[in-house]
Amino acid sequence: MTRLWALLVAVPAFAHVVSMSSGELTIEGAHGRYELRMPLYEVTHVAHPETALLEHVRFAGARLVSSNCRSESGRDAYICDAEYDFGAPPDRLDAECTLAAITVPTHVHLLRVAMGDKHDQAMFDLNFTRATLRFRPPSAAEVAVTEMAGGFKRALGGAAQILFLAALALAARSRRELLLLVGMFLVGQAAAVFGVPFTGWQPAPRFVEAAAALTVAYLAVEMLLLPKAGARWAIAGVLGVFHGLFLYLFVQTADYRPGFVLLGAAVAEVAVIAVLASIFARMLRVRAVQVSASALLVFGMVWFILRLRG
């Protein structure tokens, strides 16, 4: 159990929930113009970002002609513009992105490519660093699968998210309550993704991370101080709203359909909660739940403080 405590205290140092960047590549003949956009707070992890960022985004057969990187504090963004020479008009694009290696392991980069009226896009993370873009409109099935996969991966994008799902599984005192907690959590997520656009509010990524940290801490407090409290399902719904803000930011960045993203995220979250709940039912007793909740409380508060300071 001492090792568990040490792990939970250490996780916040690298548990970014929101870590995304986007790139737009426009090809005209053999010439390519690329713009990379990354939140300023991500650049703090990168040594010499003016050269390192573009070194970790590569296009097969393209020669870098010129580049310029700058920060835009008013827009809280770091932007790199680059010009490429492909030698000849490409009929497809083989791209490689390893930005997760120099930012944080949960980093996601969305690349959009346009050549005339042809468009394609690809998503890169630590496990998927290569993609081939073919400049043809994707089918409806390909769109659905791609966007659901994006939601699936984002729901499990870091240790912090999995630990929250573990806290949700721990908070359930019966199988019926577990189903209710999970259902309300998913409803809360959907409410945030579909509702925030109507408010005109643009949540800052750092706020979303700090709020997510408090959701873990609050569930831990519920388990420790209010073990017999009722209406825990309502709390799960509210906490789902905070986690839905993260998916909302992802939908905005990726320009994906909210329904597909939410469906993919729900599949991932339900699967993980089911596995964790099964494990906890066999292994945990009252004392073990209290110790685990205490560890989650420490994790949540340390993570919250780091997100406020960092």
List % helix, strand, coil for the chain (3-state, nearest 5): 55, 20, 25
Helix or strand run (H / E) with residue 143: helix 140-155
The residue behind tokens 């609050």 is 218
Which residue type sits at 12? P
Residue 28 pLDDT level (bands cut at 50, 70, 90):
very high
108-115/20-28 β-pairing: parallel
Tokens representing 222? 């519920």
Per residue in 137-183, pLDDT (tens digit) is 778 888 899 899 889 988 887 666 787 888 888 888 888 989 999 99
The Cα 119–Cα 117 span in angstroms is 7
Radius of gyration of the chain (CA): 21
Break the chain into its structural domains and give their ranges: 2-15+158-309, 21-139
Q: Which pLDDT score, from 0 to 100, does residue 289 have?
A: 61
Per residue in 153-163, pLDDT (tens digit) is 888 876 667 87
- CA end-to-end span of the chain, whole Å? 29
Tokens representing 92? 């497809």
Per residue in 184-241, pLDDT (tens digit) is 999 999 999 999 999 988 887 777 877 777 777 777 777 777 777 777 888 888 888 9
